[in-house]
Structure 1
Amino acid sequence: MLKGQGLLSLWNGVDPRRRDEYNLWHTREHVPERLAVPGMMRARRYHRGNGPLPEFLTLYELESNAVLSSAPYRALLENPTPWSQSMRPSFRGFFRVGHLAVSSQGGGIGSALMATTFDEASVPAGAWEELAGRALRETAATAIHVLKKDPLVAPVPFTVPSAGGASYADSGAIMIECHDRSRLDEIAGMIDPALDAEGLAPARAAWTGYDLAYSLDRDELTVVVPASRPEV
């Protein structure tokens, strides 16, 4: 299950010339900086996206989405470090959604995840709970999260290159974790017919598969060693 009551999901690509720098910055400066905000509980970065969604997916698990309107968090958005400010123009296909869980089942953090977005997630939770429970019992899935957009989460106060697909930013999402990326197609083969049979997640995007690149809990912040910005 996801920690807390809120979730921030961010998708983006990055200028290939800065991919290594992006991973270093995100791991050693950006994620620890965000997790220092009260109410931030855990962060994960997924990479090597294979599908229609951008290549990186970052998840911040929150005590509640009120964290995203708090003064400490807004101060970070409005006063980026020099390294963060330099990275923003290198983003590609960026979009960001404050999410609420319609259903979140399973435990642990899988080494792989597949995600899809869709137009509407306001289906009674019971329908999702039953389907997710079946998928967890019958496939290699380790956790399933069905998410709807939280309309109270404000957009970021800066501009970065957009995804070019506005439907993503206004959508719900399904995220399915697994212990092995090679099993994702098998899981999709079970869950897609079940979704269609129940009329759930209509007009959803094709699945995008990801590998887990990094995960950090708030209580690990004291042992993170910061990295210097590479010389340009």
Structure 2
Amino acid sequence: MAFLGQAAVAMWWNMAAEHREEFEHWHSHEHFPERMGIPGFLRGSRWSSVDSAEGFFVLYELENYEVLTSPGYRERLNNPTPWSTKMMPHHQDMVRSQCRLLHSSGGGIGGHALTLRLSPAEGRDAELLKHFSAMGASFASQPGGVAFHVLRTETPQAASTKEQQIRGGKDKAADWIVVAIAYEASALDALQRETLGEEIERHGALPGALAGRYQLACAASANDLK
């Protein structure tokens, strides 16, 4: 299976230029190893926006949905390190979605990604998922394509954590998320046109889908960091 596991944490935020160098050092050398040491965390990837000098997309692939409320994960969220405590307030415009995997095609990680945040119209979930499943299978096997994933946010019922409080307790969440990964950025051009506007609205998406383009900055699996 392309996606490692059945659940995910998908996040977007902005980081001001004066904090970026320290952020990338912290995220790569402390935060990634910490998260990958939690049972059930299988792979993490950080992506830099190509549309904004401050934007990031981070994806953690999880063994199953239950990892989101597991003792190991909750313990880390409620006991941030001093360095994490310093960096967390600089995560601006945070969107943090705790998700179930709905569909995955292809396999691996390429250097380029398109993310799409959207919502299905009432009663049209199945129709939209069928459309994305066909689109994903086609994209992942075409020249330039690598993988195509569809996620749905299902926020667990849990108390606010220390990390959320440090960030001001104002994290937003997406609804449905598409993540398309390519080894050629040009492969995402046509896909972006297809996944915005009338095409996906005809298949059950509400207007207003939000797209972002990213390039890979860092990725690691739990085995990589043992």
Q: Which TM-score tier does this pair reach, normalised by the shorter chain?
A: 0.7 to 0.9
Find the residue that maps to 2:210 and give its secondary structure: coil
Match of 1:211 in 2: 215
Task: Name the CA shift for 1:204/1:104 in 2 (closer, same or farther; >3 Å).
Answer: farther
State the Cα distance separating 1:198 from its structure 2 match: 2.1
Task: Name the CA shift for 1:179/1:155 in 2 (closer, same or farther; >3 Å).
Answer: farther
**CA distance in 1: counterparts of 2:158 and 2:119, whole angstroms:** 19
Match of 1:195 in 2: 200
**CA distance in 2: counterparts of 1:198 and 1:10, whole angstroms:** 26
Match of 2:150 in 1: 146
Find the residue that maps to 2:155 and give its secondary structure: coil
Unaligned 5+ residue runs, structure 2?
A: none
Match of 2:111 in 1: 111
State the Cα distance separating 1:45 from its structure 2 match: 0.5
State the Cα distance separating 1:130 from its structure 2 match: 1.9
Give the alignment of 1:159-170 within 5 angstroms.
159=165, 160=167, 166=172, 169-170=173-174
**CA distance in 1: counterparts of 2:170 and 2:212, whole angstroms:** 15
**CA distance in 2: counterparts of 1:198 and 1:139, whole angstroms:** 25
Match of 2:100 in 1: 100
Find the residue that maps to 2:225 and give its secondary structure: helix
Match of 1:37 in 2: 38
Task: Name the CA shift for 1:153/1:108 in 2 (closer, same or farther; >3 Å).
Answer: farther
- The share of aligned pairs that are identical, in percent, is 28
Task: Name the CA shift for 1:96/1:195 in 2 (closer, same or farther; >3 Å).
Answer: same
- Retained in 2: the 8 A contact 1:115–1:176? yes
**CA distance in 1: counterparts of 2:159 and 2:31, whole angstroms:** 18
Match of 1:226 in 2: none
- The count of aligned residue pairs is 216
Give the alignment of 1:7-46 within 5 angstroms.
7-46=8-47
**CA distance in 1: counterparts of 2:142 and 2:201, whole angstroms:** 18
**CA distance in 2: counterparts of 1:189 and 1:6, whole angstroms:** 27
- Retained in 2: the 8 A contact 1:139–1:186? no
Find the residue that maps to 2:125 and give its secondary structure: coil
State the Cα distance separating 1:48 from its structure 2 match: 2.4
**CA distance in 1: counterparts of 2:159 and 2:49, whole angstroms:** 26
Task: Name the CA shift for 1:153/1:19 in 2 (closer, same or farther; >3 Å).
Answer: farther
State the Cα distance separating 1:12 from its structure 2 match: 1.2
Of 127-136 and 203-212, more deviation after overlay is shown by: 127-136
Establish whether residue 171 from structure 1 lines up as the match of residue 172 from structure 2.
no
Deviation string, structure 1 residues 58-83 (Cα, Å, up to 9, x no partner) = 11111112112111211111111110
**CA distance in 1: counterparts of 2:91 and 2:59, whole angstroms:** 16
Deviation string, structure 1 residues 180-223 (Cα, Å, up to 9, x no partner) = 22432222234446423423x3224332100010000111113x
- Retained in 2: the 8 A contact 1:131–1:194? no
Aligned-partner residue type, residue 221 of structure 1 = L
State the Cα distance separating 1:110 from its structure 2 match: 1.3
Deviation string, structure 1 residues 4-42 (Cα, Å, up to 9, x no partner) = 111111111113211000000000000100110111111
